[in-house]
A and B are shown apart, each in its own frame.
Chain A
Amino acid sequence: MSIWEFANPVRFMRLSGRLLPYLVVLTVVSLVTGLIWGFFFTPDDRAQGAAVKILFVHVPFAFLAINIYFMMFVTSLIWLIRRHHVSALAAKAAAPIGAVFTLAAIISGALWGSTTWGTYWQWDPKLTSFLIMLIFYIGYIALWDSIDEPDKAADLTSILCLIGSVFAIVSRYAVNIWNQGIHQGASLSIDREEHVSNVYWLPLMLIMVGAFLLFLVLLLLRTRTEIRKRRITALQAREL
């Protein structure tokens, strides 16, 4: 099966409809198990105490906030190059999820910062680039809503998305690029010496999987809604 089969709205609705029940079960199981494990059954950190438990809500949503923008970048490019409507609608559907995940990461990060840095906010490169990314998400959603003609809206929002992707990349690598500010480096790394202890890493991985599945479920549901809305508009236009 080719990924381009999803570009056909009828096939997308059929395949996503079949997949969704399984994905919902997997999401609930992995997220609930991971969060209970992380919150109730992990020890306090020697330096951070119980504040380390914020890791389990901050890191997965911050990681996804950046990667959802990357997904929107890819689907926007597909729209601009191949004109597949489902890819433009998938980008549209992903934006509110990305905005909420970014906001969740900023709030949990501010609360974490208040205990470890002694401040909720500082104009640090990582924090600032995350805030700019949130503004891009909101701007992207507002631009879609402000243009009536769907193809024109898809074109302009795709261009905005491409511009905003610079900040998504900066958000990911801000600590490495500027090597300053209060935010520490990545908690997760391919190098096992660099990432957090296994006591935290295992439940964190489970929550990461759950949060990704949650994104996938919400993305499929929202894209299905956008496809239906297109069909509704087409049927209403026939009535006029």
Chain B
Amino acid sequence: MMPELGRYAISVLGSYGSTIVLVSALIIVTVLRGRASKKTLAALELKHKGKR
């Protein structure tokens, strides 16, 4: 199944690996920051509704 990469294995796998790691980190940070902001905003809006 795995293609024969020969002497290019380090370069090819390094390119795919580094890209996947960087993009995955970006996705994780984006999702976590999104969830945190959603939670904070929901709590604040609830607090403000309670005050009215």
List the B side residues contacting A96 at CB < 8 Å.
26
Given A107-B19, A214-B23, A231-B41, A224 and B12 touching (CB < 8 A)?
no
Contact residues of B between 5 and 35, Cβ < 8 Å to A: 5-12, 14-16, 18-19, 22-23, 25-27, 30-31, 33-34
Within 8 A of B (CB), among A104-146: 104, 107-108, 111-112, 114-115
- Grouping DSSP codes into helix (H, G, I), strand (E, B) and loop, the A interface class, with mixed when no group exceeds half, is helix
Check A53–B12 contact: CB distance below 8 A.
Answer: yes
Please, which residues of chain B bring their CB within 8 A of the CB of A231?
41
B interface: dominant SS: helix
A58 interface residue per 8 A CB criterion: yes
- Determine the chain B residues whose CB is within 8 A of the CB of A229 once the complex forms: 37
Question: Chain A residues with Cβ under 8 A from B23's Cβ?
Answer: 100, 104, 214
| Contact-residue size bin, chain B (C-beta under 8 Å from the other chain) | 20 to 34
B48 touches A221 (CB 8 A): no
CB distance from A91 to the nearest CB of B (A): 16
* Complex-state Cα separation, A178 to B48, whole angstroms: 60
Q: Check A40 for interface membership: any CB of B closer than 8 A.
A: yes
Query: Which A residues are closer than 8 A to B by beta carbons?
Result: 35, 39-40, 49-51, 53-54, 57-58, 61, 96-97, 100, 103-104, 107-108, 111-112, 114-115, 214, 218, 221-222, 224-225, 228-229, 231-232, 235-236, 238
